[in-house]
């Protein structure tokens, strides 16, 4: 935000308000995620094995999660977050490939192709859809607005954390990784896992309608139902055996959900600690533990006070904390454009744009020469913008 606020105002009232909004948005978004995962664990244990611990189960799950991501955060990026992230990606790919092989392989390929085409053709229309002509905006409020607010609530710490671990990278590399690479990983996941669920429902192999109904167990147990229904047949020539691989997949699914959240929670807690200590790259251990406990307590309180409607309380919390940060994101975008325009020339409606590879100008991808050539903005070089 330096190009808009000015370097002399980085400690002023406006900057403090932005920091406060960022902290609240991060706490709301991460606490909501922790609450949903806790709810999924508690509901899944009750559905799968009949273990119902009530509020004590919620506290136990949330406390365990909080301890795990706090320990990972205290260990640091190299010893904790990086190792856990590598484990995540390995288990992520393994579970996805196993579902693709055990599930309806050809159906998933056909459905994936159709889904990508539908996403491309309907992207603009669905992005602007409000439901006004279909009898109200209830669906948009419950889904579109909620997920937008949820994504916005994760943006402060995600941007700060990515900027920290991307030092030395060009803006093009960071943007390509954040948008294209992550989409390339998530599209197959939703295609294989979601497509298998669609196939199982249509063929009567699994029934999701009962659990997602208002009086059902809840959508949190959908993953348990899906993986439990999958089997792997082995033909030995003399006889064919069905291997119940579902139990293994359920265990892998629960571990994956846990470790994915831990890596997100520890990085978000680190980002909040940095924001509340004036931007220190290595906040004190006490500060990190404090914010980790705050995140865990917030999730537990929202889930317990919400009762059976705990998910609704979590959704409301993330909308309240994340939606106001949309204004900050818009201003940050304008700030980035202003900085690029001052140091790189015209940003919008360029004569030539290179998405992948080199533009032919060695200085265009090197932030150091740009900072030296344009000393008017030395505090905010193009490849290391600090918002």
Complete DSSP assignment for 79-98: IIIHHHHHHHHHHHHHHHHH
Residues ≥6 apart with Cβ < 8 Å to 387: 1, 159, 160, 332, 335
Helix (H) or strand (E) holding 235: strand 232-235
Mean pLDDT in consecutive groups of 10 residues from the start of the chain, 387 residues: 81 85 86 80 79 78 83 73 83 92 93 93 90 81 86 85 82 85 88 93 87 74 86 67 79 86 80 82 84 85 68 78 87 87 73 60 47 42 39
Tokens matching residue 2: 């330096």
Question: What confidence score (pLDDT) does residue 192 get?
Answer: 94
Q: Which of 261, 266, 305, 318 is nearest to 289 (CA)?
A: 266
Question: What confidence score (pLDDT) does residue 349 get?
Answer: 65
Question: What confidence score (pLDDT) does residue 114 get?
Answer: 95
Question: What confidence score (pLDDT) does residue 307 get?
Answer: 60
Number of separate domains in the chain: 1
φ/ψ (deg, to 5) at 241: -115, 140
φ/ψ (deg, to 5) at 233: -95, 135
Strand 240-243 vs strand 232-235: parallel, antiparallel, or unpaired?
A: antiparallel
Contact of 71 with 338, CB cutoff 8 Å: no
**CA-CA distances (angstroms) from residue 183 to 120, 187, 188?**
13, 6, 9
Q: Which residue matches tokens 């806790």? A: 38
Query: For residues 192 and 111, what is the distance between their CA atoms, to the nearest angstrom?
Result: 9
Q: Report DSSP state, residue 194.
A: I
Query: For residues 240 and 237, what is the distance between their CA atoms, to the nearest angstrom?
Result: 7
φ/ψ (deg, to 5) at 129: -70, 135
Question: What confidence score (pLDDT) does residue 381 get?
Answer: 39
Contact of 335 with 15, CB cutoff 8 Å: no
Question: What confidence score (pLDDT) does residue 105 get?
Answer: 93
Query: For residues 367 and 264, what is the distance between their CA atoms, to the nearest angstrom?
Result: 29
Query: For residues 51 and 196, what is the distance between their CA atoms, to the nearest angstrom?
Result: 27
Query: For residues 320 and 27, what is the distance between their CA atoms, to the nearest angstrom?
Result: 11
Query: For residues 75 and 204, what is the distance between their CA atoms, to the nearest angstrom?
Result: 47
Question: What confidence score (pLDDT) does residue 239 get?
Answer: 64
Domain enclosing residue 64, as ranges:
2-384
- Please tell me whether the overall predicted TM-score, pTM, comes out greater than 0.85 for this model: no
């Amino acid at each position: 935000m330096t190009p808009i606020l000015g370097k002399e105002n980085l400690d002023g009232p406006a900057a403090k308000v932005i920091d406060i909004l960022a902290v609240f948005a991060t706490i709301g978004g991460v606490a909501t995620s922790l609450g949903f995962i806790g709810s999924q664990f508690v509901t899944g244990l009750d559905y799968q094995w009949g273990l119902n611990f009530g509020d004590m189960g919620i506290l136990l799950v949330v406390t365990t999660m909080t301890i795990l991501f706090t320990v990972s955060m205290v260990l640091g990026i190299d010893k904790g977050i990086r190792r856990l992230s590598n484990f995540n990606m390995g288990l992520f790919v393994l579970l996805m490939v196993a579902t693709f092989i055990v599930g309806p392989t050809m159906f998933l390929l056909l459905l994936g192709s159709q889904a990508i085409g539908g996403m491309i053709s309907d992207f603009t229309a669905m992005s602007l859809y409000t439901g006004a002509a279909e009898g109200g905006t209830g669906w948009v409020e419950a889904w579109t607005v909620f997920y937008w607010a949820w994504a916005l609530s994760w943006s402060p710490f995600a941007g700060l954390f990515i900027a920290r671990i991307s030092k030395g990278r060009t803006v093009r590399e960071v943007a390509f990784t954040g948008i294209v690479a992550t989409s390339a990983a998530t599209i197959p996941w939703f295609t294989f896992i979601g497509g298998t669920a669609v196939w199982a429902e249509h063929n009567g192999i699994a029934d999701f309608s009962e659990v997602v109904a208002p009086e059902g167990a809840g959508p949190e147990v959908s993953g348990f139902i899906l993986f439990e229904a999958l089997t792997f047949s082995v033909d030995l020539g003399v006889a064919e055996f069905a291997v119940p691989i579902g139990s293994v997949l359920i265990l892998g699914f629960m571990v994956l959900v846990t470790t994915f959240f831990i890596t997100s929670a520890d990085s978000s807690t680190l980002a909040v600690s940095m924001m509340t200590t004036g931007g220190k790259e290595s906040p004190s251990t006490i500060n990190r533990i404090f914010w980790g406990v705050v995140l865990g307590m917030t999730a537990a309180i929202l889930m317990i006070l919400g009762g059976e409607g705990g998910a609704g309380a979590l959704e409301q919390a993330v909308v309240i904390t994340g939606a106001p940060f949309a204004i900050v994101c818009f201003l940050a975008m304008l700030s980035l454009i202003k900085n690029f325009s001052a140091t790189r020339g015209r940003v919008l409606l360029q004569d030539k744009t290179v998405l992948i590879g080199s533009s032919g100008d060695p200085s265009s991808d090197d932030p150091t020469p740009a900072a030296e050539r344009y000393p008017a903005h030395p505090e905010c070089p193009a490849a290391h913008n600090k918002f």
